[in-house]
Amino acid sequence: MIVGGAGLLTGLYAWQIEPFWLEFVQHQMPIKNLPNGLNNLKLMQISDMHVGNRFDRQYLIDSMKEAQALEPDIVVYTGDFVSYESAEQFEQLQEVMKHVVRGELGTVGILGNHDYGKNWEEGDVADQIVEILEENGVEMLRNSTTEVAGLNIIGVDDYWATNFDPEQAFKNYDSSKANLVLCHNPDVADLDVWNGYQGWILSGHTHGGQCKPPFLTPPMLPVKNKAYSAGEVDLEDGRKLYINRALGHLWQVRFNVRPEITVFDLQQA
């Protein structure tokens, strides 16, 4: 009886509480060649919102409002804005993006696999999502680069989708600048495509596994390299990978893996 009751309470917690128990994770981010004007400013990462039919969008809107109150200087979005099933998700995304978190200096994003529709191969779906995001003030990078107040942000399009072209993304990499890479799927870190890049890589995609037994690797991770679950990973070659646990979810269940928005303190390395 006691065991059954404990199991019921755990199930209710994993279904109704933790999926909506947002954590703002504070993290330091030392960057080489960072301009003086960016030292000690805040860069916020939001990832994997998964706007769709599988949970209440009000949670996303409320989370955006909480994030806005932190007044970030730069905001980056690392993909999977929607869980695409039909054109209905475009309207839903518009609803959520009315409350978009923007950085005082700049707001930048990349796409994830779910932003490419069914089987990650519907380019017209990705194009429509990009249009909605840019209308709402998010500069979208698709194997391209932008500069925000002296920080060079490189955006790699999704690994599983139809527009993955890291060679194009890194073609103009300049190690003398302050650089940051956005790359939805952390498995890309293991590919020979980086053109000598050294610095931080911000990813999402895994949701931290959503359910994680204490002291063990999550049993379900959508990556080849199972070391890439969540948090900081030192790649030991001058690159540091940070994997955000996701704001949203594919399925409404989380255990020991709270949803996350990350707030980085930019520092001169």
What DSSP character marks residue 14?
I
- How many domains in the chain? 1
- pTM, to two decimals: 0.96
Give the pLDDT of residue 4. Answer: 56
Q: What is the CATH number of the domain that holds 107?
A: 3.60.21
Beta-carbon count within 10 A of 41 CB: 20
Residue, of 47 and 3, whose pLDDT is higher: 47
Give the model's confidence band at 7: pLDDT under 50 very low, under 70 low, under 90 confident, else very high: low
Separation between Cα atoms, residue 175 and residue 168, nearest integer Å: 16
Q: Is 37 helix (H, G, I), strand (E, B) or coil?
A: helix
CA distance 153 to 179: 6
DSSP-H helix ranges across the chain: 2-12, 57-68, 88-97, 123-135, 166-169
| pLDDT reading at 186 higher than 60 | yes
pLDDT digits over 94-115, tens only? 999 999 999 999 999 999 999 9
Query: Which pair of tokens denotes residue 251?
Result: 């399925």
Residues 154-183 pLDDT 10s: 999 999 999 999 999 999 999 999 999 999
CA distance 204 to 245: 7
Gyration radius of the chain over CA positions: 18
Domain that holds residue 29: 2-268
